[in-house]
Amino acid sequence: MSAIPLSPVGSQEEAPVSLWRDAWYRLKRNKLAVFGLAVVLILAFAAIFGPYLTPYDYLSQDLQARNAVPSLTHLFGTDDLGRDVFSRVVFGTRTAFLVAVVVTVIAVFIGTLLGAIAGFFGNPFDRVIMWLTDMTMSVPNLLLVVVINASLKAPIAKWMEAQYLATLNPFYRQTVWVDFMLVFGSMALISWPPYARLVRAQVLSIRSRPYITAAQALGLSNWIIMKRYVVPNALGPLIVSVSAGLGTAMVLESAFSFLGVGVNPPTPSWGNMISDGLRVWQHYPHLLAAPAAVLGLASVAFSFLGDGLNDALNPRGSK
């Protein structure tokens, strides 16, 4: 009888270890993170497809149904112009996501570029970039945004009016793009320093690793080393910071719109809807409760998701 060959110890095929698969497994076990992810996905779906699925146009007015309380006809009621609050809240989700994504992308790009240069090349780049970072963070965010909007909005609007008179192109009458450009620029200007500090700290830790020394010994240029080895290995903490930054950008946009220096009516924004509802909340509380509740839910969801990503990508730092 032939002997059954014995397989050597440890020869069983095992699934290869994957950082991202392990992180996803840890993230799924975090119920709060899963809840946050589900809410974020629902809000993203509403931002993309919601305005096409709402029962009313966000600008359509019905003066006979002004200030109606929530009902089956109008889920969140109507405002003082008879506009459906639910449709406006859903469209406000698109405004919030558009501002949050664009601002975060710009801020992450600037912060990653400057932080990587400061951490990898050292002085004098490090000293200049960190001085610029400290100066930007020392200026109050609201003050900087107000100054930018007050100083640039009028000249840009005047230039667009002159272009309309010269060309009769209706595009130059769409001042909403001025609001978005100023919001994107001013918020990105105040949002990039934390990303720069984070990336700089990661690069300072990574640049002394043996594989960086080996890449330098092979004659690779500094820019190739940064692109292939330094920045990719610094993405873990950056992803966590970005998830939290999206929620922060939404809250900032709503705060600036609430104060009148963000997205202005008639474009729906959670901030300007809260501002309008605050004036009449004693008589029509639904005008304040609906956008405030959605904004609070979005902020909490991004916070839960950020904490979950931190525990998933950095298990040694979790409790």
Residue 7 placed within a domain = no
Tell whether 5 is covered by a domain.
no
Which CATH number covers residue 104? 1.10.3720.10
User: Per the domain annotation, does 299 fall within a domain?
Assistant: yes
| pLDDT for res 68 | 85
Both tokens of residue 163? 């272009």
- 292-315 pLDDT, tens digit per residue, is 899 889 888 888 888 887 777 665
Cβ atoms of residues 112 and 199 within 8 Å:
yes
Could you tell me the pLDDT band of residue 1, with boundaries at 50, 70 and 90?
very low
- C-alpha–C-alpha distance, residues 197 and 199, integer Å: 6
Q: Is residue 207 part of a domain?
A: yes
Q: Among residues 103, 191, 180, which one has the least CA distance to residue 141?
A: 191
Give the count of domains, the chain.
Answer: 1
In a domain, 17, yes or no: no
Q: Domain containing 210: what range?
A: 30-317
**6 domain residue, yes or no:** no
Tell me the one-letter amino acid at 24: W
Res. 17 pLDDT band, cuts 50 70 90: low
Q: Residue 78: beta bridge partners?
A: 84
Among positive and negative, which fits the CA dihedral 55, 60, 62, 68? positive
**Domain contains 235:** yes
Does 117 map to a domain? yes
Q: How far apart are the C-alpha atoms of 118 and 128, rounded to whole Å?
A: 8
